[in-house]
């Protein structure tokens, strides 16, 4: 069976995975963008977002960024990661943060309480809006992945929901040397050892400490 993986999810030193007050101008919350300096410099990020790898770095950070796209056949994300619109969809004008050719290139399953028709984008990405819970989204994503792994993109609350049900097989967490002071803490109310998770690898670069947490 395909695995459910969290990849390149970055935390601040004080444990926040996003800053407060997410909106159109602050998609990662206030201060959240500074968490991701390690990723923004990598060849994988530069190519995926800007279509160029000019000036991009190699090394530890690139190795972890690149592994996040290997053997991925589908994604799951929460509605907050898809966009800032709250409540019932007023219309279908919001099409994501990423333009008409998003970085995913596979089916993406967006957890929401409000139904919406699938959104077909360029490059092989189709956003499917799932209203019947995390397990239903995972079942649909695994079916769409056709034997490949499913990547869980977040945000914080969605990852916690999957963790509490022991549905995540492996997490790559990058800890950035940044203090946010407030925002959303990833592991609040989650007892990882009691759930059977352990840190199985750790490696540092100049910009982040990379941790692999595995369900035992």
- Both structure tokens of 214: 């595995």
Q: Which single residue is written with the structure tokens 């929401």?
A: 112
What is the rounded radius of gyration, in angstroms, for the C-alpha atoms of the chain? 16
| Helical packing angle, 134-145 and 156-164, nearest 10° | 90
Give the three-state DSSP class for 189: coil
**Is residue 93 situated within a structural domain?**
no
For residues 31 and 164, give the distance between their C-alpha atoms in angstroms, rounded to a whole number.
27
pLDDT reading at 151 higher than 80: yes
CATH of the domain at 181: 3.40.430.10
Nearest to 108 by CA among 133, 73, 132: 73
Domain with 151, as residue range(s), is 4-86+99-215
pLDDT for 158-203, tens place per residue?
A: 999 999 999 999 999 999 999 999 999 999 999 999 999 999 999 9
**Is residue 192 situated within a structural domain?**
yes
For residues 163 and 172, give the distance between their C-alpha atoms in angstroms, rounded to a whole number.
13
Query: Higher-confidence residue: 100 or 21?
Result: 100
pLDDT reading at 84 higher than 70: yes
Among 66-75, 84-93, 133-142, which stretch is predicted with the lowest mean pLDDT? 84-93
Number of domains in the chain: 1
The pLDDT of residue 51 is: 73
**Is residue 154 situated within a structural domain?**
yes
Q: How far is CA 45 from CA 8, 10, 62, in A?
A: 11, 14, 9
Q: What is the DSSP string of 117-146?
A: --EE-GGG-EEEEE-S-HHHHHHHHHHHHT
pLDDT for 98-150, tens place per residue?
A: 999 999 999 999 999 999 999 999 999 999 999 999 999 999 999 999 999 99
**Is residue 92 situated within a structural domain?**
no
**Is residue 149 situated within a structural domain?**
yes
- Both structure tokens of 134: 């995390």
Burial of 93 (0-12, 13-18, 19+ CB in 10 A): exposed
**Is residue 94 situated within a structural domain?**
no
Confidence of residue 55 (pLDDT cuts 50, 70, 90): low
**Is residue 190 situated within a structural domain?**
yes
Confidence of residue 96 (pLDDT cuts 50, 70, 90): very high
pLDDT reading at 4 higher than 80: yes
**Is residue 91 situated within a structural domain?**
no
Strands 126-130 and 119-120: antiparallel
């Amino acid at each position: 069976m395909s695995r459910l993986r969290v990849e390149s999810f970055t935390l601040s030193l004080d444990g926040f995975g996003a800053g407060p007050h997410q909106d159109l101008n602050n998609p990662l919350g206030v201060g959240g963008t500074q968490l991701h300096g390690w990723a923004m410099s990598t060849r994988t990020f530069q190519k995926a977002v800007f279509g160029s790898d000019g000036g991009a770095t190699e090394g530890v950070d690139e190795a972890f960024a690149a592994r996040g796209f290997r053997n991925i056949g589908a994604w799951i994300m929460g509605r907050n990661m898809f966009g800032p619109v709250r409540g019932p969809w007023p219309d279908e004008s919001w099409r994501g943060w990423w333009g008409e050719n998003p970085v995913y290139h596979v089916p993406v399953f967006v957890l929401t309480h409000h139904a919406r028709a699938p959104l077909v984008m360029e490059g092989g990405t189709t956003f499917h809006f799932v209203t019947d819970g995390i397990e239903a989204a995972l079942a649909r994503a695994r079916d769409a992945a056709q034997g490949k792994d499913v990547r869980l993109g977040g945000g914080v609350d969605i990852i916690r929901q999957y963790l509490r049900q022991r549905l995540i097989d492996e997490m790559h967490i990058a800890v950035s040397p940044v203090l946010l002071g407030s925002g959303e803490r990833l592991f609040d109310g989650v007892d990882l050892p009691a759930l059977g998770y352990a840190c199985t690898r750790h490696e540092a670069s100049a910009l982040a400490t990379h941790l692999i947490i595995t369900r035992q």
